[in-house]
């Protein structure tokens, strides 16, 4: 007996984002240093001393005895001049020196303050980015990429409703599906301005060169930071990670890390993951098989059924599982293509949930099936060739739409490869692990650039040799945009990876989480019937038995539960002819979409059930134009248009009586006849023609208590008196736009159907079950078919109906 954990609902929360600094810092202006004393001082001293020497010489050699008395005053004056000039010079010099020292010290302090400010901003920004995109589990906290940062890896967070970061990214967020792949170095968002005078002074004064150098290094150091490198996988589809030879495990490690980031940040309501991996990688992908994100996305699930009933995980490991999943995937891609056309009409843009298809490399021997010819030659018993996977899933036709139109239809493909030549030709983004890149200069975070006490520059640009030895192996990568050659490649300084234990721990914590329902709240106005089924339909080779026999279409629903349209938030609207029936009423004023609804109902039944399970009897008071095409179906046992005369109405009654007798006979023989769906369009008009029509009709259908007879009475308005009897007889009511609130009230017990917009035919209410009222938009059969890649020709509405009805439904 397996123990099923109770599910924990995770609701959408307001997003709390760390603050990323965006200010501008201006570097301090360098000081204007005082001009040192001029060299003319020395000239004066020189000439004074020279004068003294000349006087001395002249008076000693040319004059006699007493004249030498006069020499001393001259010498004294010159000496005094020289001395006073020297003293003045020294005084000025000391003053200039002191002033300069003061100004430089001040400048230094200002630079230091700016550095402290920048260091804080640098830290804040780095911290904010890492908080938004932390690594999954263990990381090298000593690495310069994470130095000084306070990081809580994803696995250390709580996996519950109180974690504000869990499944926090919403489709409208800028970082929706922006996935971390490693670390890059890039410019900061805050800016550093250099005042103009900075530059001038830097050129002019050689004395403050050291400070200018300091300022320059400060700008380069603090305006670059290590942040997680994110890639927008939604826009860059497909993405290939290439790791040749020994690097393939690193490429796979990165793929795992990327998937782990996707599942932590995005709700399964917005992102679903499909894994296609080779058998050799079974243990590597085991963890993904319990993620809520890999639960097979089924657009037919109602909100209540969502995730709980269907626990098939779209994690196909090995060729057999992949071949089973590919057709389902292909149908979903086709459906998205149709949705896209509808979204264009209603100018909605995102198709949700976004599908991420992960395709691992099939590199080991035996990962792929042998091609048919080769297996015959090798004597391997031939199995169904359509079930053999002899090429990578990336090359299968089922994946073509995902690869070529992924970005438009909400699909992203991520794959690994050993060789750049084997990646899909339309690859947009290549994460290339091939080359070894030289290590980038690494700044030791937190080390001041200038040690003021020692007055020397700190060594800040390289990892010391002893540290380098202990630095773990760093796998780098080059991220190249293959479609935009102008865009430069980005160097990923260290790619992410994830250990098996971490991945398993993540999956186990997520296993019991479910997204609280949060679907889009719009209601579509145009729904092609084919959207309700899994398409595209191969019109040329349609085999109705495939669908009639396919448990996928039948087992989830009770018998005769058919999709007829979509409710708000793209939830499927079903009509359950057994549980909500057996009988019903369809009311709607002219042009409200009754005929389209009947056609949808009939085709929906035809696609799902065999003629041996369901039969139609179609009656129209008028020309029966809308029902006429259905008479060709093997399910239709009678079609009677123009029943406007009492004679024809009587003929219908006789026909019905005969059919009921036939069924009774079959039942007596122990056989169970097919369900009989009787649609009577214009029943109120017929009742007006023959007063006893309704009584007679009900008497016949009640005969023998046959639970498999289902009446659908169609009219433009309830017509009071007729409505009363009919109203009591029927169980479910379909009500499109009504002419008046009274009409609406007669059917729904509320006036709402009168206020349905006339401009949106096909919109209506279904009152069923225990007074449950659903607003829905009915699907159309006769919608013009959009031009798609798969189908180049555009059919108009009637042509489409004819084409669908001429599909080879067996039995006739
Ligand atoms: N579900 C729908 N979605 C979009 N358009 C629709 C839908 N149903 C009907 N329409 C549009 O409204 C038009 C009228 O629809 P329809 O003929 O089904 O109305 P009706 O109620 O049967 O009218 P009447 O009573 O006059 O026969 C259609 O030609 C089509 O253009």
**Residue 532 Cα to ligand 1 middle (Å):** 18
- Which atom of ligand 1 is nearest the CA belonging to 596? 18
**How many residues does the structure list for the chain?**
812
- Look at ligand 1, atom 5, and give the residue with the nearest C-alpha: 761
Long-range contacts formed by 365-373: CB under 8 A, 24+ apart? 366/279, 366/280, 367/278, 367/279, 367/280, 367/319, 368/278, 368/319, 368/392, 369/319
Instruction: Judge: domain 529-805, CATH 3.40.50.300.
Output: yes
Contacts for 673 with CB less than 8 Å, ≥ 6 apart: 615, 662, 663, 666, 667, 708
- Look at ligand 1, atom 15, and give the residue with the nearest C-alpha: 593
- Per the DSSP assignment, residues forming a β-bridge with 355 are 272, 411
**Residue 343 Cα to ligand 1 middle (Å):** 21
How far is the C-alpha of 359 from the C-alpha of 212, rounded, in Å?
54
Asked whether the CA dihedral 325, 328, 334, 336 is positive or negative, the reply is negative
- Backbone φ/ψ region at 177: left (φ over 0), alpha (ψ -120 to 50), beta: left
- Which atom of ligand 1 is nearest the CA belonging to 565? 1
**Residue 590 Cα to ligand 1 middle (Å):** 8
Q: Which of 412, 420, 391 is nearest to 243 (CA)?
A: 420
Yes or no: say if 452 and 460 are a contact pair by the CB < 8 Å rule.
Answer: no
Yes or no: say if 630 and 636 are a contact pair by the CB < 8 Å rule.
Answer: yes
Q: Which two tokens stand for residue 328?
A: 């389902």
Q: What is the 3-state secondary structure (H, E, C) of 572-621?
A: EEEEECCCCCCCEEEECCCCCCHHHHHHHHHHHHHHHCCCCCEEEEEEEC
- Look at ligand 1, atom 7, and give the residue with the nearest C-alpha: 762
pLDDT at 521: 58
How far is the C-alpha of 337 from the C-alpha of 343, rounded, in Å?
10
Q: Is 311 labelled a binding residue?
A: no
Q: Which two tokens stand for residue 435?
A: 């080359």
Written as one string, the DSSP assignment of 203-224 is HH-STTHHHHHHHHHHHHHHTE
Yes or no: say if 346 and 524 are a contact pair by the CB < 8 Å rule.
Answer: yes
Q: Is 588 labelled a binding residue?
A: yes
Yes or no: say if 398 and 330 are a contact pair by the CB < 8 Å rule.
Answer: yes
How far is the C-alpha of 155 from the C-alpha of 169, rounded, in Å?
17
**Residue 797 Cα to ligand 1 middle (Å):** 12
Q: Which two tokens stand for residue 677?
A: 């769906």
- Per the DSSP assignment, residues forming a β-bridge with 271 are 354
Q: Is 84 labelled a binding residue?
A: no
How far is the C-alpha of 104 from the C-alpha of 107, rounded, in Å?
5
- Which atom of ligand 1 is nearest the CA belonging to 778? 1
Tell me the backbone φ, ψ of residue 130, rounded to 5 degrees.
Answer: -70, -35
Domain spans of the chain, in order of start = 1-18+133-192+230-301+308-438+473-506, 31-132, 529-805
Yes or no: say if 643 and 656 are a contact pair by the CB < 8 Å rule.
Answer: no
- Look at ligand 1, atom 28, and give the residue with the nearest C-alpha: 593
**Residue 2 Cα to ligand 1 middle (Å):** 51
- Which atom of ligand 1 is nearest the CA belonging to 716? 25
Task: State the burial class of residue 369 (Cβ atoms within 10 Å of its Cβ: 0-12, 13-18, 19+).
Answer: buried
For residue 76, give the H/E element and its range.
helix 71-132
Strands 411-417 and 239-242: parallel
How far is the C-alpha of 117 from the C-alpha of 192, rounded, in Å?
11
Largest distance between two CA atoms of the chain: 172
Residue of 624, 737, 762 to test ligand 1 pocket, by largest number of atoms within 8 Å of CB: 762
**Residue 564 Cα to ligand 1 middle (Å):** 14
**Ligand 1 pocket member 594 (CB < 6 A):** yes
Yes or no: say if 111 and 118 are a contact pair by the CB < 8 Å rule.
Answer: no
**Ligand 1 pocket member 385 (CB < 6 A):** no
Q: Is 383 labelled a binding residue?
A: no
Yes or no: say if 606 and 560 are a contact pair by the CB < 8 Å rule.
Answer: no
**Ligand 1 pocket member 361 (CB < 6 A):** no
Place of tokens 């000039």: 85
- Look at ligand 1, atom 1, and give the residue with the nearest C-alpha: 762
Q: Is 573 labelled a binding residue?
A: no
**Ligand 1 pocket member 595 (CB < 6 A):** yes
Q: Is 593 labelled a binding residue?
A: yes
- Which atom of ligand 1 is nearest the CA belonging to 780? 1
**Residue 796 Cα to ligand 1 middle (Å):** 15
Yes or no: say if 240 and 392 are a contact pair by the CB < 8 Å rule.
Answer: no
Task: State the burial class of residue 696 (Cβ atoms within 10 Å of its Cβ: 0-12, 13-18, 19+).
Answer: middle
pLDDT at 810: 59
pLDDT digits (tens, 9 = 90+) for 476-524: 999 999 988 788 899 999 999 999 999 999 999 999 998 876 555 567 8
The answer, yes or no, to whether the previous bond of 353 is cis (omega within 30 of 0) is: yes
**Ligand 1 pocket member 588 (CB < 6 A):** yes
- Look at ligand 1, atom 13, and give the residue with the nearest C-alpha: 591
How far is the C-alpha of 804 from the C-alpha of 775, rounded, in Å?
27
| One fold for 1-18+133-192+230-301+308-438+473-506 and 529-805 | yes
Yes or no: say if 552 and 804 are a contact pair by the CB < 8 Å rule.
Answer: no
How far is the C-alpha of 743 from the C-alpha of 737, rounded, in Å?
10
CATH architecture of 1-18+133-192+230-301+308-438+473-506: 3-Layer(aba) Sandwich (3.40)
pLDDT digits (tens, 9 = 90+) for 121-158: 999 999 999 999 999 998 887 788 888 888 999 999 99
Contacts for 108 with CB less than 8 Å, ≥ 6 apart: 211, 450, 452
Q: Is 670 labelled a binding residue?
A: no
**Ligand 1 pocket member 590 (CB < 6 A):** yes
Tell me the backbone φ, ψ of residue 649, rounded to 5 degrees.
Answer: -65, -40
Q: Which of 4, 6, 8, 19 is nearest to 162 (CA)?
A: 8
Tell me the backbone φ, ψ of residue 664, rounded to 5 degrees.
Answer: -60, -40
Which residue stretches of the chain have pLDDT < 50? 1-3, 199-204, 302-307, 347, 441-446, 451-472, 555-557, 785-794, 812
Tell me the backbone φ, ψ of residue 335, rounded to 5 degrees.
Answer: -60, -40
CA angle 635, 800, 619 (to 5 degrees): 40
Taking the model in full, what pTM does it have? 0.62
Q: Is 595 labelled a binding residue?
A: yes
């Amino acid at each position: 007996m397996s123990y099923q954990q109770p599910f924990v609902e995770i609701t959408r929360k307001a997003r709390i984002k760390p603050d990323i600094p965006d200010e501008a810092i201006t570097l301090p202006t360098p000081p204007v240093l005082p001009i040192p004393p001029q060299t003319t001082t020395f000239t004066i001293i020189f000439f004074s001393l020279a004068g003294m020497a000349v006087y001395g010489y002249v008076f000693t050699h040319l004059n006699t005895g007493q004249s030498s008395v006069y020499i001393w005053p001259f010498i004294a004056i010159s000496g005094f001049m020289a001395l006073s000039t020297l003293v003045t010079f020294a005084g000025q010099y000391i003053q200039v020196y002191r002033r300069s020292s003061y100004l430089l010290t001040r400048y230094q302090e200002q630079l230091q303050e700016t550095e402290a400010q920048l260091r804080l901003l640098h830290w804040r920004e780095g911290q904010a980015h890492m908080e938004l995109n932390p690594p999954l589990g263990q990381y090298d906290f000593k690495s310069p990429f994470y130095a000084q940062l306070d990081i809580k890896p994803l696995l250390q967070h709580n996996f519950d409703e109180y974690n504000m970061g869990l499944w926090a990214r919403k489709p409208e967020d800028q970082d929706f599906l922006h996935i971390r792949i490693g670390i890059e170095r890039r410019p900061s968002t805050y800016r550093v301005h250099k005042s103009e005078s900075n530059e001038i002074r830097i050129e002019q004064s050689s004395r403050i060169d050291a400070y200018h150098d300091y300022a320059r290094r400060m700008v380069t150091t603090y305006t670059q930071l290590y942040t997680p490198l994110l890639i927008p996988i939604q826009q860059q589809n497909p993405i290939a990670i290439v790791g040749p030879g020994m690097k393939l495990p690193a490429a796979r490690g990165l793929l795992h890390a990327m998937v782990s980031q996707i599942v932590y940040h995005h709700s399964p309501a917005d992102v679903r993951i499909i894994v296609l991996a080779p058998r050799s990688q079974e243990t590597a992908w085991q963890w993904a098989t319990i993620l809520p994100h890999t639960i097979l996305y089924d657009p037919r699930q109602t909100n209540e059924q969502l995730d709980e009933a269907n626990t098939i995980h779209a994690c196909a490991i090995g060729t057999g599982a992949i071949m089973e999943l590919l057709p389902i995937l292909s149908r979903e891609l086709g459906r998205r293509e149709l949705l896209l056309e509808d979204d264009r009409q209603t100018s909605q843009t995102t198709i949700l949930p976004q599908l991420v298809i992960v395709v691992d490399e099939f590199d080991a021997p035996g990962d792929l099936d042998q091609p048919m010819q080769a297996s015959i030659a090798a004597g391997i018993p031939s199995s169904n060739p359509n079930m053999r996977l002899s090429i990578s899933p990336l090359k299968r036709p089922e994946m073509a739409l995902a690869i070529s139109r992924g970005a438009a239809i909400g699909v992203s493909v991520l794959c690994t490869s050993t060789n750049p030549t084997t990646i899909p030709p339309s690859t947009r983004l290549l994460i290339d692990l091939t080359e070894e890149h030289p290590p980038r200069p690494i700044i030791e975070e937190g080390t001041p650039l200038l040690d003021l006490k020692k007055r020397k520059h700190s060594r800040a640009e390289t990892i010391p040799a002893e540290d380098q030895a202990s630095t773990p192996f760093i796998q780098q990568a080059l991220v190249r945009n293959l479609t935009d050659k102008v865009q430069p490649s980005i160097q990923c300084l260290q790619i992410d990876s994830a250990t098996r234990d971490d991945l398993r721990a993540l999956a186990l914590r997520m296993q019991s989480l479910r997204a609280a329902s949060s679907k889009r709240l719009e209601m579509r106005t145009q729904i092609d019937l084919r959207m309700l089924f899994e398409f595209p339909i191969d019109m040329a080779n349609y085999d109705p038995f495939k669908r009639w026999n396919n448990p996928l279409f039948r087992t989830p629903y009770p018998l005769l539960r058919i999709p007829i349209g979509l409710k708000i938030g793209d939830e499927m609207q079903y009509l359950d002819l057994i549980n909500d029936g057996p009988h019903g009423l369809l009311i709607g004023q002219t042009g409200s979409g009754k005929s389209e609804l009947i056609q949808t109902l009939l085709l929906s039944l035809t696609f799902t059930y065999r003629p041996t399970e369901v039969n139609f009897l179609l009656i129209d008071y008028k020309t029966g134009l809308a029902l006429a095409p259905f008479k060709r179906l093997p399910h239709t046992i009678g079609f009677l248009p123009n029943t406007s005369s009492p004679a024809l109405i009587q003929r219908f009654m006789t026909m019905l009586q005969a059919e009921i007798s036939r069924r009774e006979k079959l039942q007596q023989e122990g056989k169970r006849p097919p369900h009989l769906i009787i649609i009577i369009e214009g029943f109120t008009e017929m009742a007006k023609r023959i007063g006893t029509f309704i009584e007679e009709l009900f008497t016949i259908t009640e005969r023998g208590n046959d639970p498999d007879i289902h009446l659908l009475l169609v009219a433009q308005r309830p017509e009071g008196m007729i409505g009363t009897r009919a109203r009591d007889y029927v169980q479910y009511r379909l009500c499109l736009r009504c002419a008046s609130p009274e009409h609406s009230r007669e059917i729904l017990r509320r006036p709402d159907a009168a206020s349905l917009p006339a401009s949106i035919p096909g919109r209506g209410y279904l009152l069923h079950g225990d007074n449950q009222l659903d607003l829905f938009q009915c699907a159309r059969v006769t919608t013009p078919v959009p031009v798609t890649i798969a189908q180049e020709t555009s059919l108009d509405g009637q042509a489409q109906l004819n084409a669908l009805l001429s599909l080879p439904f067996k039995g006739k």
